[in-house]
Amino acid sequence: MRVLGIDPGLTRCGIGVVEVDAARRASLVAVSVARSDKKLATHFRLRDISIAIEQALARYQPEIVAIERVFAQDNLQSVTTTMQVMGAAMTAVGRAGLPLAVHTPSEVKAAISGSGTASKAQVQHMVARILGLKEAPRPADAADALAIAICQAWRGTGLLGAEGEGTVQVSLSGGVSAKKTLTPAQQQWAQAMAASRRKGAVDPQRVR
């Protein structure tokens, strides 16, 4: 299963691609950071980020894309621009006809480290360990994108469906549940993920 993770940001948008086999072993395919020029108007910056994501989708051909959900912060401007990037990313994924999953920061932390309150340093350390790297990719946006991708591969939840987030879920035992009829792309992803989960019974936390 190939998953592309996106850590949305207007100045730096992390893009990470991982391959995960039936035994939950994850390997690095690619990682990068899409940047935008601060001197440009916001819509041009969003265009550049969107183009970078579209290029990554075309080049690495993931079976599903995962993105981190934005939560309210004290900095309203930061939240607003990050949500705009999230929208641009979702549009790019939609144009590619791929399934999309959304995860909260705590879900990503829990999947990677076993704790939903893990620090960024702890998550980055685990990303490097899981992927067999000497150190986590930098900047942090790159490692975060890989963490999001790994989270999706291991958990199989958060898939957007006709009724919104979380309407489709693949359990660890390989069962598929959906509140509404799936699109062909969602059906293909769910079947592949279910088959993968039925074949492998390895607890992802044992990687630690």
Residues that constitute the known binding site: 7, 68, 141
Active site annotation includes 135: no
Whole-angstrom distance, CA of residue 59 vs CA of residue 82: 24
Cβ contacts of 152 within 8 Å, gap of 6 or more: 3, 5, 64, 66, 101, 103, 158
Quote the tokens at residue 66.
């995962």
Reference 68, options 4, 155, 5; nearest CA is 5
Q: Phi/psi of residue 158, each to 5°?
A: 80, 10
User: Which entry of 141, 144, 165, 203 is annotated as an active-site residue?
Assistant: 141
Provide DSSP, 65-124.
EEEEPP---S-HHHHHHHHHHHHHHHHHHHHHT--EEEE-HHHHHHHHHS-TT--HHHHH
Q: How far apart are CA 163 and CA 62, in angstroms?
A: 23
203 is an active site residue: no
Residue pair 63/21 in contact by the 8 Å Cβ criterion = no
The verdict on whether 141 is a catalytic residue reads: yes
Catalytic residue among 19, 54, 68, 135: 68
Contacts of 139 (CB under 8 A, 6+ apart): 12, 14, 33
Which residues are documented as binding site for Mg(2+)?
A: 7, 68, 141
What is each CA distance from 142 to 22, 137, 199, in whole angstroms?
Answer: 25, 6, 30
Residues marked active site are found at 7, 68, 141
